Amino acid sequence: MLYSKKIIHHFLNPKFFGKIKNAEAIGQAGNIRCGDLMKLYLKIDKKSQRIKDVKFETTGCAAAIASSDMICQIIKGKTLKEALNVRFEDIVKKLGKMPPIKVHCSVLATEALKKAADNYLAKKK
């Protein structure tokens, strides 16, 4: 089996798939070579600065969709600063067995998060 049961589950049943209207932050990352494109939407509580809602729209392979769903699961409820400490290795570890050639999908998820954070901070200035 190329993918872990957890990757297959997140691919077939993504909990965080969708778009947030009036999101405070949006980040996008993609890989032209493989065709993966991830868009991450954040709703941030102004008082606590915690991520109160997070959604994604991803086109790509099973690993790309599973990585997008997993980063959402990991960062929901965290502050933006805490969320930015999530590394692609954390996503891979939580998802389980992933072909080495697909690890870049978890890197894209962290890049989309970083771009969303940059987008949020730019709006606050």
pTM for this one?
A: 0.94
* Torsion angle (degrees, nearest 10) of CA 108, 110, 116, 117: -150
Q: Which class is 5-120 in CATH?
A: alpha beta
Looking at 105, 108, 109, 116, which residue is catalytic?
105
The pLDDT tens digits for 37-76 are 999 999 999 899 899 999 999 999 999 999 999 999 999 9
Looking at 8, 26, 34, 37, which residue is catalytic?
34
Check pLDDT > 90 for residue 123: no
Q: Is 72 a catalytic residue?
A: no
Find the distance separating the first CA and the last CA of the chain, reported in whole Å.
48
Cα(62)–Cα(69) distance, rounded to whole angstroms?
Answer: 11
Q: What average pLDDT does this structure show over 86-107?
A: 94
Tokens of 21: 């209207």
Handedness of CA 90, 72, 13, 27 (dihedral sign): negative
Q: Is 34 a catalytic residue?
A: yes
Domain ranges of the chain: 5-120
